[in-house]
Structure 1
């Protein structure tokens, strides 16, 4: 009988240890604080850092392409419209005084059609063909390309042509100026 009491006491102790070691029940729900960041998109234009249009004679024309110009619209807007414009500085030869100049109005610009586009909407060149070329200005922006409508992101790339109408009073030299593309 003594063996039965010891066994019974041992079984009761083992049951108590098992009861105390049972894991707590899990909660039926739990929460996690979660964050993320939405970045604002941008509207950018990228143009070549430099271009050489070539050579030409006094009273003639110098024609050359500027290189690829790209508008990248990552604003993801409901109305992804934009207008790219172009202006130019006075082109100067020499560094002394007086310097020789070619005015921006003596340089015609034509965008040509897009070489690549992405996204929805309507892409329209400012000057689709050589016959549409228009003079540049240092003060009045010339429309280079537009995008109308569409939603979300889009891009357009074109390779504009410049035609320098070399004035009869120009002197020999290398003329340097700046062509500036902007987008809004």
Structure 2
């Protein structure tokens, strides 16, 4: 008898990058200004259910980088990372290693402003394991304010040894 495996509650954390270190003199000014380089992600994603030994994939929703620094050569890199996913109870059969997660960004779905945008992985054939942090998207040239959005896909290869349950973990997108 196979147990149903469910992956829910993917927490998509946001870690905005900092363009420059904050000095004591900058604290008051920065406290009143919104961040000039930000990334927004969906609050959470339910990837669905499947059986051990199979795979499932879903789009994570829109990821958007907004760069309001407005200066010359405003480049940035968005990175994606993952934790292992687990279900309560502990033990190896209750954990799915992040190395079993594959990610690809796809092309930009919307852009504003000038510059060259480069997806980390254009197609499913270029999907990369999230065993280590990966480049999700980058802006490699251009000046002025800009935005870039994409809809990445996450694929999970569920091990045959996984026990039934709800597995949760964190996918983090950050920009700097």
Q: When the two structures are superposed, what TM-score results if normalisation uses the length of structure 1?
A: 0.74
The separation in 1 between residues aligned to 2:37 and 2:117, in whole angstroms, is: 15
Larger proportion of strand: 2
The separation in 1 between residues aligned to 2:142 and 2:37, in whole angstroms, is: 15
Q: Provide closer, same or farther for how the CA distance between residues 51 and 81 of structure 1 changes in structure 2, counting only shifts above 3 A.
A: same
| Runs of at least 5 residues in structure 2 that lack an aligned partner in the other structure | 1-28
Query: Are residue 172 (structure 1) and residue 164 (structure 2) matched?
Result: yes
Which residue of structure 2 aligns with residue 107 of structure 1? 101
Q: When the two structures are superposed, what TM-score results if normalisation uses the length of structure 2?
A: 0.78
Q: Provide closer, same or farther for how the CA distance between residues 77 and 167 of structure 1 changes in structure 2, counting only shifts above 3 A.
A: same
Runs of 4+ in 1 over 2 A off after TM superposition: 96-99
The separation in 1 between residues aligned to 2:42 and 2:104, in whole angstroms, is: 16
The 5-angstrom pairing of residues 4-153 of structure 1 reads: 42-94=36-88, 96-98=89-91, 100-137=94-131, 140-153=132-145
| Runs of at least 5 residues in structure 1 that lack an aligned partner in the other structure | 1-36
* Higher RCO, Cα 8 Å, sep 6+: 2
Q: Which has the larger radius of gyration?
A: 1
Paired residue secondary structure (1:131): helix
Deviation readout 1:65-105 (Å, 9 max, x if unpaired)? 111000000011201111100000110112x3447110111
The separation in 2 between residues aligned to 1:107 and 1:172, in whole angstroms, is: 18
Q: Report how many aligned residue pairs link the two structures.
A: 144
Which residue of structure 2 aligns with residue 183 of structure 1? 175
